[in-house]
Amino acid sequence: MLLIRCPWCGPRNEVEFSYGGAADVVYPPDPDALSDAEWGEYVFVRDNPRGPFAERWVHTAGCRRWFRAVRNTVTHEFREES
Amino acid sequence: MTDDLMRSPLAGVTFTAPFVRELPFLAMVNLRVGTFPHPLPGPNRVGTLDGRDVLWLGPDEWLVVGPPGDAPAIETLLHQALGDTHGSVVDVSANRTTLAVSGPHARDTLAKGCPLDLHPSVFGPGHCAQTLLARAQVVLRQVDADPTYHVLVRGSFAPYLAEWLADATREFW
Amino acid sequence: MTHPDRLWRNPCLKWSYDVVIVGGGGHGLATAYYLAREHGITNVAVLEKGWLAGGNMARNTTIIRSNYLMDESAAIYEHAMKLWEGLSDELDYDILFSQRGVLNLAHTLGDVREGVRRVNANRLNGVDAEWLTPDQVKEFCPIVDISPDVRYPVLGATLQPRGGIAKHDHVAWAYARAADRLGVDLVQGCEVTGFVRSGGRVVGVDTNRGPIRAGAVALASAGHSSVLASLAGLRLPIQSHPLQAMVSELLEPVHPCVVMSNHVHVYVSQAHKGELVLGAGIDPFNSYAQRGSVHVVEHQLAAALELFPVFGHAHVLRTWAGIVDTSPDASPIVGPTPVPGLYVNCGWGTGGFKATPASGWVYAHTIAHGEPHALNRPFGLDRFTTGALVDEHGAAAVAH
Ligand SMILES: Cc1cc2nc3c(=O)[nH]c(=O)nc-3n(C[C@H](O)[C@H](O)[C@H](O)COP(=O)(O)OP(=O)(O)OC[C@H]3O[C@@H](n4cnc5c(N)ncnc54)[C@H](O)[C@@H]3O)c2cc1C
Ligand SMILES: [Zn+2]
């Protein structure tokens, strides 16, 4: 069970949240300029590191805000400064 | 000011446990605003505004709660306070009903289905939170140190939650 | 059968092999076996960082079926089914393959439509499939609650009679022994930490026991595929998640088949020894911890009780998790990579045990010939560029 710190509501149980996967995925500024391979990479490929991972969560059952957090995918610890 | 057409989602439900009851038809007005001329409560806290309770819901969102029928007056109050400031005021009274759970077994009852830490050192009178109770989304607030809690729950989840409470309270009376 | 004292040698690691397979789970072991058996390539090492078949192979709930929706999937999973049917004989080891039938329950009109469609699609692909009414479900599995007054009543089910379970450890041991006998080196406690490159080509691996040269390097590392691929500069469309399962104490035979419900979201079988084996979906977040959250287990139990009220008397003995490698279309990735000399076999996610024989079989072919077999050609990395996905989210939802 994860204890997740919502930046607005404070630490809350994981059941109040939904997961949004990798953070910082930028929509390509000019999609038409991408090759098929680049577009496929943007749509389907995400980092999947063993260790610190910047990810998105939404406090579904709370304030309903999306936020970014850095969590270690091995220890499940959230990094404070995130 | 409640009229005959109003019907609580819990109309006809008898609460077996003596310390659970419904407070139907409370006026609830949702306020979303960036800056507001009057002080509003901070995270997870309940404040007051002109005799009404104001529950913090999120960084730019509050719920103003008053007695049944009070919604139009609250709306007027908020609109006037807003003036030209950009904001949103919506009467959501029909969205939720309120369950009051009070007395020595209230905390243990809620703890069975709520992931919050309800220990008095963490969550006491004047605290509120949007959270889950028995998997249903609720706004939970502690009203006094008896303790009395108010559980604000959507109409469609209310009968389920009432049944869950009947089950959860059974060992206590 | 009297059990042999040792199933495989503890070999001396050589400095060079024709093929190095990274990961000694079911897929790695099966690949090694078929490389040796079908293609005469015996100078092969399987490098396993832990102990043999201690990853998902040790943790899965052993459901075997081939009733997938898409033609490409039906072909490869049915190929696996046919191999399963002869596997105890072929490997001369009883893998306890039990074709007791797999039910997929339908609880909504949408479920019913999807189920009936899948039965028809399966039949067109030569996969055995039947549609059962609620009464027939009750006949096939008497402990399922088919009463109409529950929240999600059973409206019918698909049945694959040839589906079932096998004993996962036996499968691993059987492949390991057979590969070992053909000359394959099975090396435990050997972690791959990088790749040896020459020009653009992968020509070996770095390990905690030193570098090893290889004519070809074949990843079969399930949940760790992204980590390994990234060491070769390759990003895979894979996300690693915890997948949990649990067993009850040993019980008398009570549950005759495999029951899966995508909607109520649980699946249950009874293992040979007698424990009820339960599982459901992944924990939502990425993880390499082999550990999930308790609310997911709670949900599985609630769902199981909904379908099988009789389980109210059972106790959970143990829960655990593996790390599963999920892909965007719930289909595997098996084939060459843009890096010459490097092959990948991953993305089996929550459902790769059932594919073990076919996965090893097509992967061995791919490595031996330098290009995919017709059965795994649709499952290449290139589909994420061409858009020719093999979307099995429907047939794979609870998916094992
Ligand atoms: C709880 C659970 C239930 C499941 N239920 C089912 C089911 O009912 N039916 C079904 O069909 N499928 C099921 N699956 C999925 C199935 O287990 C997997 O798809 C399948 O086992 C993956 O292939 P594998 O056996 O080769 O993986 P693994 O056994 O995980 O093998 C990968 C190996 O690679 C090794 N490795 C990783 N990194 C390195 C490295 N750097 N160097 C050396 N070695 C390395 C690991 O230690 C591991 O042993 C389930 C999975 C889980 C977790
Ligand atoms: Zn929040």
Say how many Å lie between the CA of residue C188 and the centre of ligand 1. 15
pLDDT of B98 over the 90 cut: yes
Q: Is the CB of C351 under 6 A from ligand 1?
A: yes
- Average pLDDT, integer, range C339-354: 98
- Indicate if the pLDDT at residue C5 is higher than 90: no
C351: helix, strand or coil: coil
Distance from CA of C231 to the nearest CA of A (A): 11
Measured from the alpha carbon of residue C244, the closest ligand is 1
Tens digits of per-residue pLDDT, C17-47? 999 999 999 999 999 999 999 999 999 999 9
Task: Give CA separation, B63 vs A9, B97, C55, C181, in Å.
Answer: 15, 13, 50, 72
DSSP tag of C71: H
**Residue C398: is its pLDDT beyond 60?**
no
Measured CA to CA, the distance from residue C12 to residue C14 in angstroms comes to: 6
Chain A: closest CA distance from residue B56 (Å):
9
Strand C266-270 versus strand A66-72 pairing type: unpaired
**DSSP SS3 for B42:** coil
Query: Would you state the structure tokens that stand for residue A15, as one six-digit string?
Result: 């059941």
Separation of alpha carbons C178 and C182, rounded Å: 6
Is there an atom of ligand 1 within 6 Å of C231 CB? no
Report chain A residues whose CB lies below 8 A from the CB of B61.
Answer: 63
Ligand 1 atom 45 nearest Cα: C23
Of C244, C286, C274, the closest CA to residue C56 belongs to C244
User: Could you tell me where the DSSP H helices lie in B57-126?
Assistant: 71-82, 106-111
**Does C333 contact ligand 1 (Cβ within 6 A)?**
no
Pairing of strands B136-144, B128-133: antiparallel
Q: Kindly list the residues of chain B whose beta carbon comes within 8 Å of any beta carbon in chain A.
A: 43-44, 57-59, 61, 115-116, 129-132, 137
- Mapped onto helix, strand or coil, the DSSP state of residue B168 is helix
User: Given pLDDT bands bounded at 50, 70 and 90, which one contains residue C89?
Assistant: very high
C220 lines ligand 1 (CB under 6 A): yes
Distance C291 CA to ligand 2 centre (A): 25
Question: Could you tell me if C375 and C75 are in contact, meaning their C-beta atoms sit under 8 angstroms apart?
Answer: yes
Residues in chain B: 173
Closest chain A C-alpha to C151 CA, distance in angstroms: 22
> Mean pLDDT over residues A38-57, rounded?
97
* The predicted structure's pLDDT at residue B64: 98
Q: Is the pLDDT of residue A80 over 80?
A: no
Chain A residues with a Cβ under 8 Å from any Cβ in chain B: 8-10, 12-13, 15-16, 61-65
Q: Is the pLDDT of residue A81 over 70?
A: no
What's the whole-number mean pLDDT along residues C218-222? 98
Please tell me the residue having the least CA distance from ligand 1 atom 2.
C60
Percentage, residues of chain C above pLDDT 90: 96
Among C13, C33, C56, say which to mutate for ligand 1: greatest number of ligand atoms within 8 Å of CB.
C56
**Nearest C-alpha of chain A: how many angstroms from C191?**
15
pLDDT of C2 reads 72
Q: Tell me the whole-structure pTM to 2 decimals.
A: 0.95
Residue C350 beta carbon below 6 angstroms from any ligand 1 atom: yes
Residues with CB under 5 A from ligand 2 (ion): A 6, 8-9, 59, 62-63
Alpha-carbon distance of C114 to C395, in angstroms, equals: 9
Of all ligands present, the nearest one to the C-alpha of A11 is: 2
**Mean pLDDT across chain C:** 96
CA of A63 to the centre of ligand 2 (A): 4
CB B40 within 8 A of CB B62: yes
Kindly tell me if the per-residue pLDDT of B1 is higher than 90: no
Beta carbons within 10 angstroms of residue C12's beta carbon = 7
Average pLDDT, chain B: 95
**What does the pLDDT read at residue C394?**
72
- The pick from C13, C49, C51, C60 for probing ligand 1's pocket by mutation, whose C-beta has the most ligand atoms within 8 angstroms, reads C60
Region C369-387 average pLDDT? 97
Q: Whose CA is nearest to atom 41 of ligand 1?
A: C192
How far apart CA B9 and CA B29 sit, in angstroms, is: 19
For position B5, what pLDDT does the model report?
83
Which residues on adjacent β-strands are paired with residue B139?
B130, B152
C369 pLDDT band, cuts 50/70/90, is: very high
Kindly report the nearest CA distance between residue C298 and chain A, in angstroms: 12
Residues C324, C240: contact at Cβ < 8 Å?
yes
CA-wise closest residue to A59 among A51, A2, B158:
A2
Tokens of C51: 């102990």
- Predicted confidence at residue B6, as pLDDT, reads 87
Interface A-B: count of C-beta contacts within 8 A: 36
DSSP line for C150-219: SSS---EEEEETT-EE--HHHHHHHHHHHHHHTT-EEEES--EEEEEEETTEEEEEEETT--EEEEEEEE
What count of other Cβ atoms lies within 10 Å of the Cβ of residue A51? 11
Per-residue pLDDT at C1: 58
Residue C278 has pLDDT above 90, yes or no: yes
**What is the tens place of the pLDDT at every residue in C125-138?**
999 999 999 999 99
Q: Is C284 a residue whose pLDDT tops 60?
A: yes
Residues 6+ apart with CB under 8 A from C301: C246, C278, C316
Residue A48 has its nearest CB partner, among C240, C294, C385, at C240
Q: Tell me the HSE value of C275 on the side-chain side, using a 13 A CA sphere.
A: 15
Q: Is residue C186 scored above 80 in pLDDT? A: yes
Q: Is the pLDDT of residue B4 over 90?
A: no
- Do A67 and A59 form a contact (C-beta atoms < 8 A)? yes
DSSP conformational letter for C309: G
Mean pLDDT across the stretch C319-328? 97
**Whether residue B25 has pLDDT greater than 90:** yes
**What average pLDDT does the segment B86-93 reach?**
97
- Looking at residue C399, its pLDDT comes to 57
Task: Flag whether pLDDT at A82 surpasses 60.
Answer: no
Distance B56 CA to ligand 1 centre (A): 46
pLDDT > 70: what percent of chain C? Answer: 98
| Region of poorest pLDDT, from B67-76, C2-11, C279-288 | C2-11
